[in-house]
Amino acid sequence: MKKIKEYFNIAIISIFINLSLFQFLSAQNYQQVLKTDSTTWTIAHQEIFGIVIDVFHTKTFQDSTYSYVFTNDIFYPYIGKLRENIDEGKVWFTSAVSNQEYLIMDMNLQTGDTFEFNTGVYGQVDSVYYLDKRKVIRFDLFSSRWDESIKFIEGVGPSNAFSVLSDFDWFYVTCKYDQDVLNYVNNNSYFIGCMPNPTGVELRADGSNQFTIFPNPAGSQTWLQLPENLPFSQMQIVLYGCTGRLLHRAQPASQFHRIELAHLPKGLYLIKVWDGKRWLAKKLVKE
């Protein structure tokens, strides 16, 4: 009986040591959100004509504890600044408008803890887990826009980006880069890679404004056959890569429009056509 108790005590001590070691190693291996001078997020948000992808990027100045955040908006490029405490696993955002600092991520939260996303908008942690070697804290706040719960993702940030800029679930982080190296890709059916899934783009029910891509899959070039019943002066054509980068933009001059692809790598692309009222979208494969 005495030996059984000794074995039991040794087992308990061993489990305790292993848990402590795991917690220690996890703390040591904390993945920073702001890893480099050039941290970039591709951010999705919904407009009246569909999902729009913006790019948020940081710039860190010497002797500054902050990383300044800019967008690709030519009128209002500066939106605020971020700072991160890697020892505490926390990130703060200071809005350029209010100049007030907000805590936007806390990786120390436990199941049952609450967090204020906007004034009076609280979420409770319903689970803490690891995915692809990243710690994830999931809340009971559900985004109907993106059909997904709000999360804090280690090394990435809040899945709803800088929630204090608008509604708590208005923005959605589709990808994150560190010095142009892809570090994170979402796993949401609304998107293919960093870009919106074209199957989720609204099309005319009668199909009268559909466009055709040929050939598809394509090689060095592809052609678009556009609807005849629309004025070309109101139409736009854009081509995006799977990472969300804009690769081609044009206003068509006729019903047939050519896009050169020789300089692009093999892979999946997204072609969108603005018909004057809404975006139409289709996938293009380059072989």
Continuous segment of H or E residues that includes residue 280: strand 279-286
155-196 tens-digit pLDDT = 999 999 877 766 777 889 999 999 888 899 998 878 888 888
* Whether residue 61 is found in the same domain as residue 139: yes
Q: State the Cα–Cα distance between residues 214 and 220, nearest whole angstrom.
A: 12
Dihedral, CA of residue 56, residue 61, residue 65 and residue 68, to nearest 10: -20
Residues 154, 23 contacting (CB under 8 angstroms) = no
63 lies in some domain: yes
How high is the pLDDT of residue 145?
Answer: 82
34 lies in some domain: no
How high is the pLDDT of residue 20?
Answer: 46
* Whether residue 68 is found in the same domain as residue 162: yes
Residues 125, 112 contacting (CB under 8 angstroms) = yes
Q: State the Cα–Cα distance between residues 96 and 54, nearest whole angstrom.
A: 18
* Whether residue 85 is found in the same domain as residue 124: yes
33 lies in some domain: no
Q: Which two tokens stand for residue 191?
A: 């998107």
Residues 180, 193 contacting (CB under 8 angstroms) = no
- State the DSSP code for 14: H
The residue from 191, 225, 249 where one domain ends is: 191
* Whether residue 51 is found in the same domain as residue 172: yes
* Whether residue 85 is found in the same domain as residue 53: yes
- State the DSSP code for 167: S
Residues 122, 114 contacting (CB under 8 angstroms) = yes
* Whether residue 174 is found in the same domain as residue 242: no
pTM for this predicted structure = 0.63
The residue from 191, 225, 251 where one domain ends is: 191
Query: Within 10 A of 231 (CB to CB), how many other CB atoms are there?
Result: 8
* Whether residue 208 is found in the same domain as residue 148: no
**Bridge-partner residues for 1, per DSSP?**
none
Residues 45, 172 contacting (CB under 8 angstroms) = yes
* Whether residue 128 is found in the same domain as residue 186: yes
* Whether residue 148 is found in the same domain as residue 212: no
* Whether residue 182 is found in the same domain as residue 224: no
**Bridge-partner residues for 55, per DSSP?**
42
- State the DSSP code for 112: T
267 lies in some domain: yes
Residue-number span of the structural domain to which 158 is assigned: 39-191
What's the N-to-C CA distance of the chain in angstroms? 71
* Whether residue 15 is found in the same domain as residue 64: no
Q: How many domains does the chain have?
A: 3
How high is the pLDDT of residue 132?
Answer: 85
Q: State the Cα–Cα distance between residues 93 and 58, nearest whole angstrom.
A: 12
How high is the pLDDT of residue 67?
Answer: 93
Q: Which residues lie below 8 Å from residue 39, measured CB to CB, with a gap of 6+?
A: 33, 57, 58, 67, 176, 177, 178
How high is the pLDDT of residue 121?
Answer: 87
Greatest Cα pair distance in the chain: 91
- State the DSSP code for 232: G
Query: Within 10 A of 265 (CB to CB), how many other CB atoms are there?
Result: 8
Q: Return per-residue pLDDT of the chain as tens, 287 residues.
A: 555 555 555 545 454 445 444 444 444 488 999 987 789 999 998 776 678 888 999 988 777 889 999 987 777 789 999 999 999 999 999 988 888 999 999 999 999 999 999 888 899 999 999 988 899 999 998 887 888 999 999 999 999 987 776 677 788 999 999 988 889 999 887 888 888 876 554 434 344 457 899 998 999 999 999 887 778 877 888 887 766 677 888 888 888 999 999 999 888 888 888 877 777 778 888 88
Coil, helix or strand at residue 11: helix
Torsion-angle region of residue 162: left (phi > 0), alpha (psi -120 to 50) or beta? beta
